[in-house]
Structure 1
């Protein structure tokens, strides 16, 4: 018989396994977050560590922040600012992340244009000529500083 899962209430204290299940993550994730200082490690009582239900919300915060592209170091900074009072610091962390995303988008757009151009060249040349895609990759590999070590 399968045991019924009970709803978690605000005052509940739960084992790491129950917390993991309620938060939708693995126990290893909770342990990793603890090791990174993102989650507190409660004191052991009766041989077990009991976590407050508020940790479910904190884990959700971490996962949503990661989903927006924040690194765990940036998440730690945001958690330190969780009360929302230091908006300048929160804005600074967010602005920095947005700048990183903008840079990645620029890189992706450059790669997209280069690949589109190579594909157009490949489609325009006949089979009698070398494929421009392969030629470009061979040229890039030969010019790479790592190529001399191989």
Structure 2
């Protein structure tokens, strides 16, 4: 019997849209001491930092626990809450292709779950644009 919903043949075009550049020496799968990642992020296509772009960018980095690990584990998001600031009330900020600084840190990890509590995004002038929180189950490398 064929599945009711077949998996996509390719990723949706927006999945290839974020551009990410490190802002600190800490990296995903770096085997570091802390669960925090900080990076410069932007939309590859010319686009100002609108609410839509900023909300998408809050999920552009891998989970912060990846900074402590040297191998990948499955950590699908089961909840995502994004709060935008008044900086975006009157439309997009910054020009097309604008970079934003993003920091993701893990507030809690245990019993097979993690909460990336502090996902914050600022524009290049240091204005806060959004804060987000994600909850994820932590799977082992085999995906169980």
- TM-score norm. by structure 2 comes to 0.23
Of Structure 1 and Structure 2, the greater helix share is in 1
Larger radius of gyration: 1
- TM-score norm. by structure 1 comes to 0.22
